[in-house]
């Protein structure tokens, strides 16, 4: 451990490479597991559980005692949380309410999610933007103070290594949130770049933020949060951030964002105050706890990607219908990883694209074949579930570009039977993000 700390110090990395928090046991297998906030496809859920587990997820039968625990682990158990293995962590898949009831409560009121498994980091130093722009496709330099953006780590052949949110804080650092399933990969990527730039004289460093992360999501989220903060939340629009005291817990970073398509916030809270804050929020009858199952179906209705299922290292931003993450200046400069592959795709035709699908009948699941009306297999479903809001089956998948127009009829094979599906615009359910009028 001493050697690890000395290496960290030489890299300018403040704090341990992996956070060490009371109540978060680590096994050797976990030191490095992490999925894009996601990574395990929970699309196989029923009202009592989950079925499909994607490439980034942990095995459902994996012993719980070797999993990492968030600061809210005992809180979840006390509130009836049904714990499952997810990306090396023990997290609640649902609570006493059914998955569908939890999903609909989030759409109509608001729900509290524990997303403390996500990797939180600070990039500091005069060359922090230079470092981040050497790794992502977004225009980080143009971000206003306390403004954030969704961006993508890409490799030299244009593949997506992970998706992440980067915020340009007014405190002089970049606050980065990336996925649990990619924890080791993302941290190594950033650390290696820190070392490379420091060796050429750049002023840059990295710190792992060992906070809990709570997501309060739903149309009444701001109404619930406002009594607990001094800041006027009407002045905090989507993808902006501020540090404030929240229900008596100081030094919380509140970011107006989420993974449900609804208005809401993610609150980075010091570990010592996490249970207090969750308890305070739950005192409001508008708020109920929600788990991974609702989180997955909510994000799918909102058309949001799950890393490891809907996007991965073999998917480019253009193929993944994420071209909007590419900053205009970055496109012109072609100075991001994989630009030689991605830039021509922006101007020309790509062979395949991520699309939305809707169908009646049996739910579409990850890996279900997508066929043309002639019966030729042309693609694959990457995520799918019944939509609690629409009472129809929704999914995402990849098809050749000529089949990607909304309204295109296709076939999907489910349980060895072919059924009709139609390419649909996303989001399936309109988003409700808060923007300044």
pLDDT score recorded for residue 133: 98
SS3 (DSSP) at 165: strand
Is the predicted pLDDT of residue 304 greater than 90, yes or no? yes
pLDDT score for 360: 86
Average pLDDT of the segment spanning 62-67 = 64
Q: Which pLDDT band, with edges at 50, 70 and 90, does 308 fall under? A: very high
Q: How far apart are CA 88 and CA 105, in angstroms?
A: 28
> How buried is residue 380: exposed, middle or buried, by Cβ count under 10 Å (0-12/13-18/19+)?
middle
- What tens digit of pLDDT does each residue of 374-429 get? 999 999 999 999 999 999 999 999 999 999 999 999 999 999 999 999 999 999 99
Long-range pairs, 51-56, Cβ under 8 A, ≥24: 51/365, 52/365, 52/366, 54/306, 54/308, 54/309, 54/366, 55/308, 55/309, 55/312, 56/87, 56/179, 56/181, 56/182, 56/307, 56/308
CA atoms within 13 A on the CB side of 406: 6
pLDDT confidence tier of residue 63, bands split at 50, 70 and 90: low
* Over residues 16-27, mean pLDDT: 34
Residue 10 pLDDT class (50, 70, 90 cuts): very low
Reply yes or no on whether the pLDDT at 38 is more than 90.
no
Whole-number Å distance between alpha carbons of 350 and 320: 10
> Does position 20 have pLDDT exceeding 90, yes or no?
no
Strand partners for 114? 214
Q: First-to-last CA distance in the chain?
A: 52
pLDDT at 14 over 70: no
Position 293 scores a pLDDT of 98
* pLDDT tens digits along 350-368: 999 999 999 989 999 999 9
**Is the pLDDT at 112 greater than 70, yes or no?**
yes
Helix (H) or strand (E) holding 35, with range, is: strand 34-35
Residue 290, pLDDT > 70, answer: yes
**Length of the chain in terms of residues written:** 437
Contact 241, 253 (CB under 8 A): yes
* pLDDT of 65: 56
Question: What is the per-residue pLDDT for 380?
Answer: 98
Note the Cα 207 to chain centre separation in Å: 20
| Predicted confidence (pLDDT) per residue in 148-193, tens digit | 999 999 999 999 999 999 999 999 999 999 999 999 999 999 999 9
Q: Does residue 136 surpass a pLDDT of 80?
A: yes
- 139, 166 in Cβ contact below 8 A? no
Alpha carbons 122 and 146: distance in angstroms, whole number: 13
Under 8 Å CB-to-CB from 288, ≥6 apart: which residues? Answer: 95, 97, 102, 105, 109, 111, 112, 282
More confident residue, 32 or 97: 97
Pick 64 or 292 by higher pLDDT.
292
| Distance, C-alpha 287 to centroid of its chain | 22
Distance in angstroms (rounded) separating the CA atoms of residues 138 and 321: 15
Residues 6+ apart with CB under 8 A from 195: 11
- Residue 63's H or E segment, with its range, is none
Spell out where 237-363 has E strands: 241-246, 249-255, 264-270, 287-289, 352-359
Report the helix count and the strand count for the chain, using DSSP H and E: 10, 23
pLDDT at 5 over 90: no
Flag whether pLDDT at 288 surpasses 60: yes
pLDDT higher than 90, residue 348: no
Reported as a single tens digit per residue, the pLDDT across 241-270 is 999 999 999 999 999 999 999 999 999 999
Residue-level pLDDT at 437: 74
Q: Mean pLDDT, to the nearest integer, of 317-339?
A: 97
Q: Is the pLDDT of residue 213 over 90?
A: yes
Answer yes or no: are the C-beta atoms of 256 and 265 closer than 8 Å.
Answer: yes
């Amino acid at each position: 451990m001493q050697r690890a700390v000395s290496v960290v110090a030489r890299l300018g990395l403040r704090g341990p490479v992996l956070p060490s928090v009371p109540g978060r046991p680590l096994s050797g297998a976990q030191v490095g597991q992490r999925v894009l906030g996601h990574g395990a496809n929970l699309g196989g859920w029923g009202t009592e559980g989950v079925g499909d587990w994607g490439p980034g997820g942990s095995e459902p039968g994996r012993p719980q005692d070797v999993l990492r625990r968030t600061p809210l682990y005992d809180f979840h158990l006390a509130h009836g949380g049904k714990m499952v293995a997810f990306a090396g962590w023990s997290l609640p898949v649902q609570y006493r309410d059914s998955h569908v009831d939890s999903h609909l409560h989030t759409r109509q009121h608001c729900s509290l999610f524990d997303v403390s498994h996500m990797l939180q980091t600070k990039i500091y130093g005069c060359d922090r933007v230079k470092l981040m722009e050497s790794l992502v496709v977004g225009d980080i330099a143009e971000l206003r103070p306390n403004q954030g953006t969704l961006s993508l780590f890409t490799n030299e052949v244009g593949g997506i290594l992970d998706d992440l949110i980067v915020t340009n804080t007014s405190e002089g650092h970049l606050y980065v949130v990336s996925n649990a399933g990619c924890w080791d990969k993302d941290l190594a990527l950033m650390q290696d770049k820190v070392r490379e730039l420091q060796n050429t004289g750049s002023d840059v460093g990295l710190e792992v933020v060992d906070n809990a992360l709570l997501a309060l999501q739903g149309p009444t989220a701001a109404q619930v949060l406002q009594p607990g903060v001094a800041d006027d939340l009407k002045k905090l629009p989507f993808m902006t951030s501020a540090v404030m005291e929240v229900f008596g817990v100081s030094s919380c970073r509140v970011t107006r964002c989420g993974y449900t398509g609804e208005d809401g916030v993610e609150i980075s809270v010091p570990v010592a105050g996490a249970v207090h804050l969750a308890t305070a929020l739950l005192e409001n009858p508008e708020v109920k706890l929600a788990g991974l199952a609702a989180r997955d179906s909510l994000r799918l209705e909102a058309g949001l990607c799950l890393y490891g299922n809907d996007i991965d290292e073999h998917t480019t931003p253009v193929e993944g219908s994420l071209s909007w993450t590419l900053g205009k200046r970055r496109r012109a400069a072609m100075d991001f990883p994989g630009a030689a592959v991605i830039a021509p795709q922006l101007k020309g035709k790509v062979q395949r694209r991520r699309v939305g699908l809707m169908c009646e009948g049996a739910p579409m699941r990850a890996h279900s074949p997508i066929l043309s009306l002639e019966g030729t297999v042309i693609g694959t479903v990457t995520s799918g579930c019944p939509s609690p809001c629409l009472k129809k089956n929704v999914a995402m998948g990849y098809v050749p570009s000529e089949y990607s127009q909304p309204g295109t009829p296709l076939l999907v094979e489910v349980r060895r039977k072919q059924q009709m599906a139609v390419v649909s615009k996303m989001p399936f359910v309109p988003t409700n993000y808060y923007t300044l009028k």
